[in-house]
Structure 1
């Protein structure tokens, strides 16, 4: 079994859903809708749904995140497992897949997520 603590250490900052709504200037119901639709990853930490801050660092959700989450769910991953995959260090990427999503390697991360289903 994977170590939740180790993965959590790779997430530098967490943002709760009301703060995500405020950051994007949308109602909280819209953030919950994004989560239900699979466009946003949120997991419970200390009883509160939270999002890794770097996934919502801009004025929108990272461009490739919804596609990667769809691919991971298609491969059978739940939100906790998707979080683990996104935040497990990978020597062939600069850090973790989540960090690579914000840069030039986003398509490579998507390709790797797609390969998990096979």
Structure 2
């Protein structure tokens, strides 16, 4: 999934399926997670969607800082027994500072907000800092 898709905020599509992401070869973090979850489930590996904040802690400063992000978790038997492990198909490397807001089968289960009628987002800022 990491090498198949090209990340592009401008190509975000709320109706893109895992198959669409695979064939279009572009998406946002949600699409990376959906494709990776689909591939895991095809191999009978339990996988779930996770979303929340992912700051830029422990990585070089980015002029376009992170905000909401999506990743996935798989249920594997590890050295300490079976548990859920976090993976991020977009970044494809361990990151620190994840703040989980929701977990579910896919993005539909994990709406960041739900509103009825028009809702204008005037401003949105997320700040994360590493503490000692």
TM-score tier (shorter): under 0.3
TM-score between the two structures when normalised by the length of structure 1: 0.22
Between Structure 1 and Structure 2, the one with more helix by share is 1
Between Structure 1 and Structure 2, the one with more strand by share is 2
